[in-house]
Amino acid sequence: MDIEQARFNMVEQQVRPWYVLDQDVLDLLFVVHREDFVPPAHKALAFTDMEIPLDVGGERTGETMLAPKVEARLLQHLEVRKHETIVEVGAGSGHMAALLAHRGRRVRSYEIRPALAEFARENLRRAGISNVEVVTGDGAVLLEPGDESFDVIVLSGAVQFVPPALFDRLNPGGRLVAIVGDEPVYTAQVFHKQGDRVTVPDNLFDTATRPLQGFPRRAAFAF
């Protein structure tokens, strides 16, 4: 495989046609090498328009890596700036954290599965990215009261709804991106915090991905 040609084709045939027009985002896809964050068994799938299974250390985690165009579109709408701090829930392979790290000041990424957390750390280390902290643990800890807040919050997995407590962790002027809904269809949404008020979310696009573990769900309806 011609790696650089495959990367070029990914950007020009998948990402750009999906309304990712921010040239800084497109350029970043050439800087952060996606294939270095894919499990060895699935290297051949690195540039395909699909979610990639994150099976590591002999463990079938059931988790997946978001498709390239989805990661790029979310990154474009977040408009991360160099001075900003970011928290991600669902580190996965560490690829989204790597993209965010190039745009912002520092990133903390929570991963509930220890094998995946270690995989993400090693990928980021090999990529020479030092401003990401991968925390092994449940990102739902952010729903608990606390003093720490962030400029950008990224939920790299699906939730039924965004718990209001999460907005308390968002600085004024901050943005939160999440994939919200119920199976089989979810909608990517971005929320903006203006002062103490959170705006009605902008619906970006329909997609589907695996739910985040540990986040609350609505009670099931019963007669």
Q: From residue 46, how far is each of 10, 31, 65, 117, 213 by CA, in Å?
A: 9, 15, 10, 19, 25
Which residues does residue 222 pair with via DSSP β-bridges, in sequence order? Answer: none
DSSP 105: S
pLDDT over 90 (residue 166): yes
Distance CA 56, CA 194 (A): 41
Q: For residue range 188-211, what is the model confidence (pLDDT) as tens digits?
A: 999 999 999 999 999 999 998 989
pLDDT over 90 (residue 73): yes
Q: What is the mean pLDDT of residues 156-165?
A: 95
Q: For residue range 17-30, what is the model confidence (pLDDT) as tens digits?
A: 999 999 999 999 99
If pLDDT is split at 50, 70 and 90, which confidence band does 219 have? low
Tokens of 14: 């998948």
Distance CA 176, CA 184 (A): 22
All structural domains of the chain: 3-207 (3.40.50.150)
Distance CA 54, CA 220 (A): 30
